[in-house]
Structure 1
Amino acid sequence: MPSTPILFFPGIMGSRLYFPNSRQYWDPDSTLRMVWWAPLWPFRSDDDNRKQLHFTEPAGVIVEAVPGEAQSLELGWGGVVWSFYGKYLKGLRELADNGRVYAVGYDWRQDLRSLGEFAADKIRRALEATGAPKVTLVGHSMGGLVLRAALQASPDLSGAVERVLFVCQPAAGAVVLYRRLFTGLVRGLDGGNGVADRTFRLILGNSRAGFVGNMSGLPGGVQLLPTRYFPPDNSQHWHAALNNGTTHAGLYLNATRPPGLVAANAHPDPDVRDDFQARLEETADAHEWLGRPELPTPIDGWQLAGIDQETDVSIQFDSKGVPIPGRSAGGDDTVPRLSATAMQLSDASRTALLSNLRHGTACEDARVMAWTRGILS
């Protein structure tokens, strides 16, 4: 029996974007293009990044061929970060019907609800282009949430999807995002002292104000916060306030405690704080809309999580409100195992755990390809 066409959805920031107003690129495949985003005074500031990365700024996925790869333009391979996903896409090609593996780049800044509509349209187009009765969907990280959003936005597609593979999906969110909204990205917790790590911290914000400023314009990014479906660990929630009945919406939108994310010291600019609060309100709605981590019948679901990497799994605050992240070897350095395995699947055999798998490079790991091949062969 021939295999189905495959659609692959990358993680957040794993799609290459072009911004026509500033004529700049989000393109991790190019050091030169990415260095431009680094807020180095007096040439650029955190506020420049906030404004030019803001979700209201027009941007489109880069459309170009991958050198040496036939049909890569038709299949959309140039729209995703090749250095992250090229090896995996070539492996998927061996498993797909007639080698048809579509890479679906998307504007990761946007709200999950609009991304769900976008992804549903891409799935329909693939079905029409191939004439296949069904497709297989594979998502890395946020790509898994986008796939779930597509099925939520268009329930009629469930009969046209044979299976879905989730690789390191933050199925119930990531604690690291909540912590960064208090600390910014800091050396040690968020990468080392290498040039790439330092540049990444500069771009996204190495202070609370810088990070909150950028996130105030990124609905899709903020929606990676932990949801109410994040499983407790030994009856203890990832945030102590949740043990006392605080809701996630109450946690995020509270301005003073436990402490809340919209506190006055989150950012010095009240307009940015208002923008950020709007993102948090959207997040509460998007989480409820997306719902429980599960797939509609009769789709066959599989999930893979990394373990044994130091990962933010909980957070506490001292008497002065200083965040103290709880870190353990309980994830892939970004997504805790409890979240990456939160999908309600038909049986335990559809969940795989890989030791020392790192989130950002998961699709470059030969073991992930072997797991994928075992399911799709």
Structure 2
Amino acid sequence: MTAKRLENIKEYYFSQKLREIEQLNKQGKNIINLGIGSPDLPPHPDVVKVLFEEGQKPDVHGYQSYKGSPVLRKAIADWYQKWYGVVLDFNTEVLPLMGSKEGIMHICMTYLNEGDQVLVPNPGYPTYASNVSLTGATMVAYNLTAAGNWYPDFASIEQQDLSKVKLMFVNYPQMPTGQAGSEDLFRQIVAFAQKHHILIIHDNPYSFILNDKPLSIMSISGAKEVVIELNSLSKSHNMAGWRVGMLIAKEERINEILRFKSTMDSGMFLPLQLAAAKALSLGADWHESVNKVYRARRKKVYELLDILDCSYSKDQIGMFMWAKIPALYKNGYALADDILYNAGVFITPGSIFGSEGDGYIRISLCGSIERFDEAIKRIKNR
């Protein structure tokens, strides 16, 4: 019998759907998966070279510091200053993670008790809500809408009783909607947190994808007092499977989270950390090379969405396209299932991200031009 904490946790949608796709493939369907944001491009070859060379050394295979290598922490701090204009003390304000997803759990387990409340975006990354639920705290959704530019409506949120709210998750560039953040929005978020004594968790893994102006909320005056920022090399450096992320916060927060994190792992493989440091040293030419590929793919997704008679904004950033479905379909599930079973193409229904995503779908840019061409052909001929 499973623990009570799992009663409100459903299996991750993609885990369930991938099993179904596997069965369809065994039947010879050859499904084209355009649903998941797992970069199919490789990291820079110099990054792989560092991993290989460091992995040959005999003295790098033991347990590592819970706080991460100072080489990686320094690289993260330098990266934040170079790209975001944020000055960090790499000894006290940077904590490497085995992917930012684990950071979400570390934060929830560090700060939440049963009876606490957490503001979670709708639509938003499902892991926020599931991790909150695991702690016994209560998720309180705040709605994001196209009419509101997919930004929080602070006036509406403040009409609620916020006395039990301890954390608020925000995520810009926003997933799944592709909405960019702005300095003005980040100032509003920081001011809201200061006013209501709420700790903001800003999840920031998409700031380099199809975006000329990467932003960190930590660049806003006063942010360090009320914000923890999560970041990752998964999307920006094509290293999703390497599981390298980071947590940025003031020293007090880092030490609090370390109390929990240190019970969960025994440090990250040192050659992996040194390779990640190399990745963070790459220049603008690296990001441009990645974005050149994504721009070409995005044009193909526009073509695919036009065939489906979906409406969408071309101002989106990140590695997905978010689109409103035509009235022909009841919701995103209906459109996604039609395409899966009649065209052999998997796309993500917006409904999995919350009720405000019911009328939308999301398509990943993680696929070759040839795959998109084949998907377009199948959808046309379904």
Superposition TM-score, scaled by structure 1 size:
0.27
Higher RCO (CA 8 Å, separation ≥ 6 residues): 2
Pair member with larger Rg: 2
